[in-house]
């Protein structure tokens, strides 16, 4: 692995460039990417953001094998399925995660912008902004880099993403960028990871209750998200988080 990802960077040092890190980690395994992120910014400045959704356990398992004390940011939007909240608690216990931070939208923002809880219907982008984008920006303030679970095989804007990206003044690591669905399934099998409870009910990708539906046979896994809206992302991967 390149020397650039082997050096440990102090809190006062400038971060290595995303392009150089991406070049060094282009063919690295997910565990190697996470370990490199740790060496680059250290645990206190690194967070993993997880939805605890249908494929989240695989990334959390890899992270836990590297360091189960890496902070995990979970966005509790107020619209999540109870099954997702229960799954979060199950994985915390199973994987021995020691620093999971459940972040909620600000009550004053909800009172001002979504008093009737119907913003998801009239303006789903605004709903995602106040329930996901703004809370994530707040949660990531102490961190210099973050890890997420996007994969190229999910298609759309994700098809060409790098392993390491620049996210405003932070680094964003995508350790599962190169993995296949079959490789994720293999992680579940080898570690005997429980599936998200809603998978058995036909939900291949799970977000908020208001904007998630079952995927039909042959559909893309994310087809059930914001169905009929022409919307494919909540905004946390398309807007700066600083």
Sheet holding 164-167, edge to edge: 100-103, 72-75, 46-49, 145-147, 170-173, 164-167
Per-residue pLDDT, 46 = 98
**222 to 6, 14, 31, 203: CA distances (angstroms):** 36, 37, 25, 9
Structure-model confidence comparison of residues 80 and 231, the more confident one: 80
Residue 196 scores a pLDDT above 80: yes
For residues 72-91, give the mean pLDDT: 97
Residue 103 scores a pLDDT above 90: yes
Q: pLDDT digits over 210-233, tens only? A: 988 888 777 776 776 877 687 767
Q: How many CB atoms lie within 10 A of CB 11?
A: 9
pTM given for the model: 0.86
Q: Is 208 a catalytic residue?
A: no
Which residue in 128, 208, 211, 234 is the catalytic one? 234
Strand partners, 225: 212
Domains and CATH numbers, the chain: 3-195 (3.40.50.620)
For residues 130-137, give the mean pLDDT: 95
């Amino acid at each position: 692995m390149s020397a650039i990802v082997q050096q440990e960077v102090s809190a006062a040092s400038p971060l290595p460039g995303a392009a150089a890190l991406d070049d060094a980690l282009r063919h690295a395994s997910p565990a190697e990417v996470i370990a490199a992120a740790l060496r680059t910014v250290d645990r206190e400045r690194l967070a993993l953001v997880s939805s605890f959704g249908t494929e989240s356990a695989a990334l959390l398992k890899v992270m836990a094998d590297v360091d189960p004390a890496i902070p995990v940011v979970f966005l509790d939007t107020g619209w999540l399925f109870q099954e997702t909240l229960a799954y979060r608690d199950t994985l915390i216990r199973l994987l021995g995660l020691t620093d999971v931070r459940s972040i909620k939208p600000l009550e004053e923002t909800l009172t001002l912008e979504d008093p009737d809880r119907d913003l998801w219907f009239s303006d789903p982008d605004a709903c995602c902004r106040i329930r996901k984008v703004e809370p994530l920006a707040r949660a990531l303030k102490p961190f210099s880099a973050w890890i997420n679970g996007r994969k190229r095989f999910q298609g759309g804007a994700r098809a060409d993403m790098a392993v390491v990206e620049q996210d405003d003044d932070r680094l964003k690591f995508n350790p599962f960028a190169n993995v296949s669905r079959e490789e994720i399934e293999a992680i579940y099998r080898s570690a005997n990871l429980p599936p998200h409870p809603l998978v058995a009910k036909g939900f291949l990708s799970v977000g908020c209750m208001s904007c998630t539906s079952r995927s039909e046979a042959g559909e893309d896994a994310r087809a059930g998200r914001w169905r009929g809206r022409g919307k494919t992302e909540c905004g946390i991967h398309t807007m700066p988080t600083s």
